[in-house]
Amino acid sequence: MKKLLFFLAILLLVPGVLAQKNTIKLLAVNEGTKQGAIVDLDLNVVDGSGKVFIETYPLTQIDTQISLRIAKLNACKMSGKYCLDKDFLYSLKTDSPVVAGPSAGAAMTLLTMASLENKKINPDSIITGTINSGGVIGVVGGLNEKIKAAANKSMKKVLIPKGELNSTELKKLRGEFNIDIIEVSNIEEAFEIFTGEKVVRPELVVNSNYKDTMKKMNEDMCKRTETLKDELKKVDIPKKYNGTFNLGLNLSEKAEKFYSDEKYYSSASRCFGANVYFREILFGILNLTENETEKQKHIIEKELQGIEMELNLTEISNLGDLEANMIVRERVDDARKNLMENSTKGLSYALERSYGASSWLNFVGFPGKSIDESKMKESCMMKISEVNELYNYVALYVPFLMEETKKELELAKKYLDSNDYILCLFKASKSEAEINAALSTLYISDSNVKVLLQNKIFAAKKEIEKQIVNGNFPILGYSYYEYANALNESDRYNALLYAEYGIELSNLDVFFPVKRPFFKLDERALMTLVLGFLIGVVLFSIRKGYRRNKIVLKRRR
């Protein structure tokens, strides 16, 4: 009996150490021959603390190792899984050195997602493509060689980034290699093909509370625009301000168009810009003395302090509170920076920014997923670590392009050191979005930016929809998504940046996981436990029956 109990005790420990194993085939290029090659990438997911371990033979290039880490980050976000309680053990072994790197990013992400969701991967399918934020699959090189390698290995399907080949090229390759070539634009499409699991997406329905609050904020902001315009009508505007005045008028007209389209955040943003221009003209006409300027600065600073006091009295109990705090604190911080400039433009910007910060206070108390405020420091540290990985990755290719983002990241670290975890998380999140925007355009021609932008806007929409299903409406994520749509035709590169903001700031919940029960079994672990228990019962019964028969035989003798 004691042995049986010991055996059952061992079985109870099994779920905690079970590894989630999976394998995917990577399309790579042989370093020596430059020909297409196929290699197996294995992954074991085990209990841990979010670490990534990579076993490779021969040694791979550094970009392949970083690509695995980036794939893990993307997979955790795309699957909505909390990954700080898991370790990821990747194994890549080949007969000769190969170049996988960024072009294997989509495959690496698929493998990780499938492992996290306990899904088996179709061994007859293979994919090539980079992985970008929001699960967008990006362009790669050497497609002909890779498709040929897939055909030579009798693969049935090869997935490639959508739009990289035209219809004529696709038809030619399909005929030449007799393989099903499928174009995909995002990881969800690929996931369905590789696992057979259809991803069901809900429709995006804008939260009525958000809509009403943003509409009111928009109307208040744009009323100021009309007030400032009326003030300017009463004075003679010097010729040197004609350009500034026209810029303000142009923005106010765009604000009216956005308002009629119910794009309230975009309209408010345009009114804010117009207000800064109009205020700059009014301050310029007044020709403020140094004392008057200092007095105006003092008034603005007092207003900012009042906003901070009001924020400090509020408890951050959910994501709505957190997002409202983020945007208000960021605007207060922005206003202070501009107060330091000795110019009418800086003074004008700071004043209008203070009004904007005050307006965003209306979102404090907005409902959302419950969070533990005591986890803010941990969340900030996690985000900075994540952004550092991305920064190191992109710095391999374009170090000179990321100087401003590096400054923002350093600023996030300073906020961490000063215990301002809210601004730390916000600045780090925006830095990550900026890095992702740079990564997405790394190998993209100007002619393909439009397609990339549409994919990114769609990705932001998907992230928002996932949040809505989870009972959370991302205030900032939706606002930036809306703004990206508004800029779609007129300013594609800024639209891309705001789409990235929309993706990143719709994922804040991943840093505040729901507390897990102490003991939880997944389906495989439960089956293992039940099977082990039944085997134990059978073995025990056999042993007990054997001993009983043995005793009976002894008595007969």
Query: Are 383 and 440 part of one and the same domain?
Result: yes
Q: How confident is the model at residue 534 (pLDDT cuts 50, 70, 90)?
A: low
Number of structural domains (the chain) is 3
Range in 42-46, 197-201, 315-319, 471-475 the model is least confident about: 197-201
Residue 60's pLDDT is what?
A: 63
Q: Which of 5-9, 162-166, 547-551 has the highest mean pLDDT?
A: 162-166
Give me the helices (H) in 178-289, please.
187-195, 208-233, 242-260, 264-286
Q: Is residue 532 part of a domain?
A: no
Query: Are 235 and 187 part of one and the same domain?
Result: no
Query: Are 164 and 191 part of one and the same domain?
Result: yes
Q: How confident is the model at residue 167 (pLDDT cuts 50, 70, 90)?
A: confident
Q: In whole angstroms, what is the distance from residue 237 CA to residue 474 CA?
A: 42
Query: Are 338 and 460 part of one and the same domain?
Result: no
Q: In whole angstroms, what is the distance from residue 120 CA to residue 99 CA?
A: 26
Q: Is residue 547 part of a domain?
A: no
Q: Which residue has the higher pLDDT, 10 or 264?
A: 264
Query: Are 160 and 287 part of one and the same domain?
Result: no
Q: Across residues 282-297, what is the average pLDDT?
A: 94
Residue 389's pLDDT is what?
A: 85
Q: Is residue 500 part of a domain?
A: yes
Last residue of a domain, one of 511, 530, 547: 511
Query: Are 140 and 70 part of one and the same domain?
Result: yes
Q: Across residues 472-476, what is the average pLDDT?
A: 95
Distance of CA 43 to the CA centre of its chain: 23
Last residue of a domain, one of 320, 341, 363: 363
Say whether pLDDT at 533 is over 70. no
Q: What is the mean pLDDT of the chain?
A: 86
Say whether pLDDT at 365 is over 60. yes
Residue 550's pLDDT is what?
A: 52
Q: How confident is the model at residue 530 (pLDDT cuts 50, 70, 90)?
A: low
Question: pTM for the full model?
Answer: 0.85
Q: Is residue 478 part of a domain?
A: yes
Q: Is residue 539 part of a domain?
A: no
Find tokens 């093909």 and name the residue.
193
Residue 527's pLDDT is what?
A: 53
Say what angle helices 376-395 and 403-417 make with each other, to 10 degrees. 160
Token pair of 109 as six digits = 């992400």
Q: In whole angstroms, what is the distance from residue 165 CA to residue 126 CA?
A: 17
DSSP state of 136: B
Query: Are 309 and 414 part of one and the same domain?
Result: no
Query: Are 253 and 298 part of one and the same domain?
Result: yes
Host H or E run for residue 54: strand 52-57
Range in 45-54, 164-173, 216-225, 263-272 the model is least confident about: 164-173
Cis peptide before 58 (omega within 30 of 0): yes
Q: Across residues 473-489, what is the average pLDDT?
A: 96
Query: Are 191 and 254 part of one and the same domain?
Result: no
Query: Are 255 and 381 part of one and the same domain?
Result: no
Find tokens 């693969």 and name the residue.
155
Q: Which of 60-69, 234-243, 368-377, 381-390 has the highest mean pLDDT?
A: 234-243
Q: Across residues 202-226, what is the average pLDDT?
A: 95
Residue 144's pLDDT is what?
A: 84
Burial 184-210 (b: 16+ CB within 10 A, else e): bbbbbbbbebbbeeeeeeeeeeebeeb
Contact 153, 161 (CB under 8 A): no
What sign does the CA torsion over 113, 117, 120, 124 have?
negative
Residue 64's pLDDT is what?
A: 79
Phi-psi region for residue 512, left (φ > 0), alpha (ψ -120 to 50) or beta?
beta
Q: Which domain holds residue 310?
A: 208-363
Q: How confident is the model at residue 496 (pLDDT cuts 50, 70, 90)?
A: very high
Say whether pLDDT at 147 is over 70. yes
Say whether pLDDT at 477 is over 80. yes
Residue 312, classed as helix, strand or coil, is helix
Q: Which residue has the higher pLDDT, 153 or 111?
A: 111
Q: How confident is the model at residue 519 (pLDDT cuts 50, 70, 90)?
A: very low
Residue 14's pLDDT is what?
A: 45
Q: Across residues 185-198, what is the average pLDDT?
A: 93
Helices first, then strands: H and E counts in the chain: 19, 10
Residue 96's pLDDT is what?
A: 59
Q: Across residues 88-104, what is the average pLDDT?
A: 78
Say whether pLDDT at 420 is over 90. yes
Q: Which residues pair with 54 in a beta bridge?
A: 90
Say whether pLDDT at 18 is over 80. no
Length of the chain: 557
Residue 7's pLDDT is what?
A: 46
Q: How confident is the model at residue 372 (pLDDT cuts 50, 70, 90)?
A: confident
Q: In whole angstroms, what is the distance from residue 122 CA to residue 195 CA?
A: 6
Distance of CA 258 to the CA centre of its chain: 27
Q: Which of 396-410, 428-442, 515-529 has the highest mean pLDDT?
A: 428-442
Q: Is residue 546 part of a domain?
A: no
Say what angle helices 242-260 and 208-233 make with each other, to 10 degrees. 150
Q: Is residue 544 part of a domain?
A: no
- Counting Cα atoms < 13 Å in the Cβ hemisphere of 223 gives 9
Q: Which residue has the higher pLDDT, 163 or 500?
A: 500
Nearest CA to 188 out of 113, 241, 262 is that of 113
Residue 11's pLDDT is what?
A: 44
CATH of the domain at 67: 3.30.230.10
Query: Are 250 and 338 part of one and the same domain?
Result: yes
Q: Is residue 259 part of a domain?
A: yes
Range in 214-228, 372-386, 421-435 the model is least confident about: 372-386
Query: Are 357 and 410 part of one and the same domain?
Result: no
Backbone angles phi, psi at 490, to 5 degrees: -90, -30
For 29-64, the pLDDT digits (tens) are: 776 677 778 889 999 999 998 889 988 776 566 777
Last residue of a domain, one of 319, 339, 363: 363
Q: Which of 55-69, 194-208, 247-261, 400-414 has the highest mean pLDDT?
A: 247-261
Cis peptide before 399 (omega within 30 of 0): no
Contact 402, 443 (CB under 8 A): no
pLDDT exceeding 70 applies to what percent of the chain? 86
Quote the Cα angle for 364-365-367, to 5°: 125
Residue 431's pLDDT is what?
A: 94
